[in-house]
Structure 1
Amino acid sequence: MAHTASISQLQTPPWALVNGELVPYTDVKIHIGAEALTRALSVFEGVKGYWDSAGEVFSIRTPRRHYDRLCRSASLFHIPVRFSYEEFLAGLSKLASELLVPDKDLWFRPTMYVTHGHWGEATEADLVVTAFSQRKLDPDPMRLGVTSWRRASDLVLPTRVKSSANYVGARMARIEVRRLGYDDAIMLNDAGRVAEATGACVLIAQRGRIVTPPTSESCLDSITVDILESVAKDLGLTFERRPIERTELLAADECGLAGTISELTLVAELDGVEYEQSGLLAQVRQRYLELMRGDLVLPDVDLVPLVDASREALAG
Structure 2
Amino acid sequence: MTQPSSEPVIYLRGRFVPDSEASLSVRTHAFLYGTAVFEGIKAYWAPERETMFIFRAEEHFRRLVQSCRILRLKAPLDIRRMVELSAEIVVRNGCREDTYLRPIVYKADRRIGPILEIPDTVDDFCLFTAPMSAYLDTHKGLHVCVSSWRRIDDNMIPARAKCNGAYVNTALIKTDAALAGFDDAIALSDDGHVAEGSAMNLFLVRDGRLVTPAVSNNILEGITRATVIELARKELGIPVESRQVDRTELYVAEEMFLCGTATEVAAVTRIDHRAIGDGTVGPITRAIQDLFDQAIHGRLPDYMHWLTPAGTPVLSSQD
Question: 1:313 matched to which residue of 2?
Answer: none
Q: Confirm or deny that 1:303 pairs with 2:312.
A: no
Question: 1:132 matched to which residue of 2?
Answer: 130
Question: 2:272 matched to which residue of 1?
Answer: 271
Q: Distance in 2 between the 1:251 and 1:97 partners?
A: 47
Q: Confirm or deny that 1:108 pairs with 2:109.
A: no
TM superposition score normalised by structure 2 = 0.87
SS in structure 2 at match of 1:58: strand
* Kept in 2: contact 1:224–1:259 (CA 8 A): yes
Deviation for aligned residue 1:55:
4.7
* Kept in 2: contact 1:143–1:268 (CA 8 A): yes
Q: Distance in 2 between the 1:26 and 1:202 partners?
A: 38
Q: Distance in 1 between the 2:197 and 2:220 partners?
A: 10
Q: Confirm or deny that 1:48 pairs with 2:48.
A: no
Unaligned runs of 5+ in 1: 1-12, 310-316
Question: 1:8 matched to which residue of 2?
Answer: none
- 1:123 counterpart letter in structure 2: T
Q: Among all aligned residue pairs of Structure 1 and Structure 2, give the percentage whose two residues are the same amino acid.
A: 26
Q: Confirm or deny that 1:149 pairs with 2:149.
A: yes
Number of matched residues? 296
Question: 1:212 matched to which residue of 2?
Answer: 212
Q: Deviations over 1:36-60 (max 9, x none)?
A: 0221101000111122351512221
Q: Distance in 2 between the 1:215 and 1:177 partners?
A: 24
Q: 1:280 to 1:301 in 2, by over 3 A?
A: farther
Question: 1:5 matched to which residue of 2?
Answer: none
SS in structure 2 at match of 1:215: coil
SS in structure 2 at match of 1:108: strand
Deviation for aligned residue 1:215:
1.4
In the TM superposition, structure 1's runs of 4+ consecutive aligned residues that sit over 6 Å from their partners are: none
SS in structure 2 at match of 1:227: helix
Unaligned runs of 5+ in 2: 1-6, 314-319
Q: 1:305 to 1:265 in 2, by over 3 A?
A: same
Q: Distance in 1 between the 2:215 and 2:121 partners?
A: 28
Q: 1:150 to 1:138 in 2, by over 3 A?
A: closer
- 1:297 counterpart letter in structure 2: P
Question: 2:287 matched to which residue of 1?
Answer: 283
Question: 1:185 matched to which residue of 2?
Answer: 185
* Kept in 2: contact 1:201–1:220 (CA 8 A): yes
SS in structure 1 at match of 2:302: coil
Deviation for aligned residue 1:95:
1.1
Q: 1:167 to 1:132 in 2, by over 3 A?
A: same
Q: Deviations over 1:211-232 (max 9, x none)?
A: 1111110110111111111100
- 1:264 counterpart letter in structure 2: V
Q: Deviations over 1:21-46 (max 9, x none)?
A: 22222332222222202211010001
Question: 1:228 matched to which residue of 2?
Answer: 228
Q: 1:35 to 1:101 in 2, by over 3 A?
A: closer
* Kept in 2: contact 1:159–1:215 (CA 8 A): no
* Kept in 2: contact 1:100–1:106 (CA 8 A): no
Deviation for aligned residue 1:72:
0.6
Question: 1:254 matched to which residue of 2?
Answer: 255
Question: 1:23 matched to which residue of 2?
Answer: 17
RMSD between superposed Cα atoms in Å: 2.0
Deviation for aligned residue 1:17:
1.5
TM superposition score normalised by structure 1 = 0.88
Q: 1:299 to 1:133 in 2, by over 3 A?
A: closer
Q: Deviations over 1:232-288 (max 9, x none)?
A: 012111111011110001111111111011111111211112233032111111111
Question: 2:3 matched to which residue of 1?
Answer: none
Q: Distance in 2 between the 1:54 and 1:220 partners?
A: 33
Q: 1:52 to 1:190 in 2, by over 3 A?
A: same
Q: Distance in 1 between the 2:232 and 2:172 partners?
A: 33
